Amino acid sequence: MKHRVSTSILLVFLMTSLALGQAKKWTPPRMADGHPDLQGFWTNNTYTPLERPRNVSKEFYTREEALELEKKAAVEESEQTLPGTVADVHYDFTQFSLDRNQSAHAVNLRTSLIVDPADGKLPPLTAEGQKRAAERAEVAKHVGRWDSAQSNDLDDRCIIFQGAGPPMLPQGYNSNYQIVQTPGYVMILFEMAHDTRIIPMDGRPHVARNIQQWTGDSRGHWEGDTLVIETTNFNGKNPLRGSSENLRVVERFTRVDAETIQYKFTVEDESTWTRPWTGEIPLRKTIGPLFEHACHEGNYGLYNTLVGARLEEKKAAEEASKKGGK
Amino acid sequence: MQDSSNFKISSLDSMRNLSLCACTLVTLFFCAATAHAQTYRAPRTADGKPNLGGIWQALNEAYWNIEGHAAAPGRVLALGAADAVAPGLGVVEGGAIPYLPEAAAKKKENFENRLTLDPEIKCYLPGVPRATYMPQPFQIIQSAKHIMIIHQYAAAVRTIYMDNQTEAPADSWMGWSNGRWEGETLVVDTTGFNDKTWFDRAGNFHSDALHVVERFTAADADHLNYEVTIEDPKVFSRPWKMSMPLYRRKEKNAQILEFRCVEFVEELIYGHLKKQTSK
């Protein structure tokens, strides 16, 4: 009996180590220079929020829970497109397969994209970060979203989308990326507004500190089989959850199986947070090609909403003067 | 079999033969020189294809006007000499673009209204081949399956499909490009354009029937020969060509920077729709 138990334990142990061994043994396809081949079409489409929801305390859902939450979210997304509803005027997400549910996405059991701090939440703001947040909130009080093109959101203005990154956060739809690798460069094309990152891999220094850009200035290198990209020189005009131009982002891309790149990013900004924070998103293989998203060229939405806002003001002013006249 | 009598040649024949020989030698020499120029062998990528990777830029005045043109006043009075048209010899082979009569009239209209109609002014995607000779650099990132051309201007980007080639799924600003290698030359066949882009600031234009074939050939380590054939039966009476060298940006650590110009044109496009501040 005792012998049989130990045999079965040994068997389980063997099977486990076999499974572990298999998981570890998966070797990525390689480029001619020996580095892992990350090329192809990928998506970071996900239902997992950046921060852990208030009512959730655990790090992972069970598979059943995760699928149930996705189902619920998919229903919610489809509801906004019921014919005849006001939401229907904007986009019919489901008709154009823009809802996340109809696109490829990795089932992520994590309850938040943030893995550090352990509570899945952004770290506390520094005094400077709080001050900046308060100032931004104050400005926002006096500026209406539809007052001018410039007062609208950056993505509605087709200037930049959060998926452009870094860090490249899920966009909601069109969260598609194309990676092309050459010995000296890695290129990441983000479908939304055809935002392209060209990352030099030759160890050159960053551009001068005064050259600040929306997506910063990126430099890459390999740490074993992991592509590491470090980005500085942000212009601070596209704050990441309140970040400043002192933002520094380190991204890590590791192919973990044929279908997945594990994308991990660490965000540092001493002017904003009391400590760095780290997030993790699986990039799942998807079907190409990407299409031209000529966002600005076809931005009737911005034009029409501005026209609409001015018409409403005019109407309100006319009604007010009528009342005043009586 | 050769008859030995063939070798008994008269002195006159011998003279002629000598000069023929000399001619042949000269020809051979020239042939060799030309052949050398045409068959510069570019360094290879891992898959054995000519490596055209790098940061390139046209160095001419085609962005003002692809046809030969003298210097001229600019479009914006306040900008004085800074906006004046830089003169250029032109990049159109044969000099003039063979417009159909109606199209020639539209080109004239475009020119007259260029300050409001030129898509560049609104930061719209520049189209092809205009993107290539904008006065800003572009980078070629070359893999076996996809050759990417990434322009600094407006972050315009093209994917050239070297495999899985399909027809254009829809019209677009930068077109749909399929590529192939012909020896040392990358041949890019692009269709699926909309009719909204121009060739330059002078109003030279095309329709949605545009078909562009570009040929990129390394002339030496730092130059590409760039040849373009333009076909558009709705606008031109026959296909025509333009050609120019492209130059490698040699600055140490040269890199494509952001020229996210949407921000710079919002006031121009939407300024009149701003909320009027009360009193």
Same domain? A161 vs A304: no
pLDDT at B108: 98
pLDDT at A174: 85
**Nearest Cβ partner of A148 from B159, B255, B270?**
B270
Mean pLDDT, residues A275-299: 96
A119 is in which domain, residue-wise?
40-46+112-295
Same domain? A216 vs A315: no
Task: Judge whether A75 lies within some domain.
Answer: no
Best B47, B146, B279 residue to mutate vs chain A (most A CBs within 10 Å) = B146
Task: Judge whether A18 lies within some domain.
Answer: no
Same domain? A270 vs A243: yes
Same domain? A231 vs A124: yes
pLDDT at A87: 53
Averaged pLDDT of chain B: 90
Report which of B81, B113, B57 is spatially closest to residue B251, judged by C-alpha positions: B57
Same domain? A152 vs A175: yes
Q: What is the ipTM of this complex?
A: 0.87
- Tell me the range of A80-94, A177-191, B4-18, B29-43 where mean pLDDT is highest: A177-191
pTM score, two decimals? 0.87
**Å between B24 CA and nearest CA of chain A:** 46
Task: Judge whether A35 lies within some domain.
Answer: no
Task: Judge whether A97 lies within some domain.
Answer: no
Same domain? A258 vs A304: no
Best B273, B277, B278 residue to mutate vs chain A (most A CBs within 10 Å) = B273
Mean pLDDT, residues B221-226: 98
Residue of B nearest to A204 (CA): B253
Measured in whole angstroms, the distance separating CA A162 from the mean position of its chain's CA atoms is 6
Strands, E assignment, chain A: 40-43, 114-116, 176-181, 185-190, 195-200, 217-223, 226-232, 248-257, 260-268, 277-285
Mean pLDDT, residues A176-194: 96
Contacts of A196 in chain B (CB under 8 A): 148, 150, 155, 157
Q: What is the tens place of the pLDDT at every residue in B92-142? A: 999 999 999 999 999 999 999 999 999 999 999 999 999 999 999 999 999
Report which of A223, A171, A165 is spatially closest to residue A195, judged by C-alpha positions: A165
Query: What is the domain-level CATH number for residue A146?
Result: 2.40.128
pLDDT at A103: 72
Same domain? A214 vs A254: yes
- Residues 6 or more apart whose CB falls under 8 angstroms from that of B153 comprise B126, B131, B134, B136, B259, B261
DSSP string, B139-190: EEEE-SSEEEEEESBTT-EEEEESSS----SS-BSS-EEEEEEETTEEEEEE
Q: Quick check: A80 pLDDT over 70?
A: no
Same domain? A196 vs A320: no
Report which of A279, A210, A211, A276 is spatially closest to residue A248, judged by C-alpha positions: A276
Contacts of A306 in chain B (CB under 8 A): 270, 273-274
pLDDT at B278: 57
- B248 compared with A26, residue with greater pLDDT: B248
DSSP string, chain B: ---GGGG---HHHHHHHHHHHHHHHHHHHHHHHHHHHHT--PPB-TTSSB---EEEEE-SSTTT-SS-B--B--S-GGGGGGGSBPPB--SBTTSS--B-HHHHHHHHHHHHTHHHH-GGGGT----TTGGGGSSS-EEEEE-SSEEEEEESBTT-EEEEESSS----SS-BSS-EEEEEEETTEEEEEEE-B-S--BSSTT--B--TT-EEEEEEEEEETTEEEEEEEEE-TTTBSS-EEEEEEEEE--STT-----B-THHHHHHHHHGGGSPPPP-
Task: Judge whether A87 lies within some domain.
Answer: no
A77: helix, strand or coil: helix
B257/A39 Cβ within 8 A = no
A172: helix, strand or coil: coil
Amino acid in the structure at residue B250 = K
B155/A196 Cβ within 8 A = yes
Count contacts between A and B (CB, < 8 Å): 118
Question: Quick check: B109 contacting A, CB < 8 Å?
Answer: no
Same domain? A210 vs A314: no
Task: Judge whether A200 lies within some domain.
Answer: yes
* Cβ-based burial of A245 (10 A; exposed 0-12, middle 13-18, buried ≥19): middle
**Nearest Cβ partner of A310 from B53, B255, B273?**
B273
Mean pLDDT, residues B26-46: 65
Task: Judge whether A158 lies within some domain.
Answer: yes
Q: Quick check: B181 pLDDT over 60?
A: yes
pLDDT at A106: 76
Mean pLDDT, residues A96-109: 72
Same domain? A202 vs A158: yes
Same domain? A278 vs A318: no
d(CA B137, CA A185): 17
pLDDT at A13: 40
A160/B142 Cβ within 8 A = no
B267/A150 Cβ within 8 A = yes
Same domain? A281 vs A304: no
Mean pLDDT, residues B35-47: 81
In chain A, the number of structural domains is: 2
Task: Judge whether A10 lies within some domain.
Answer: no
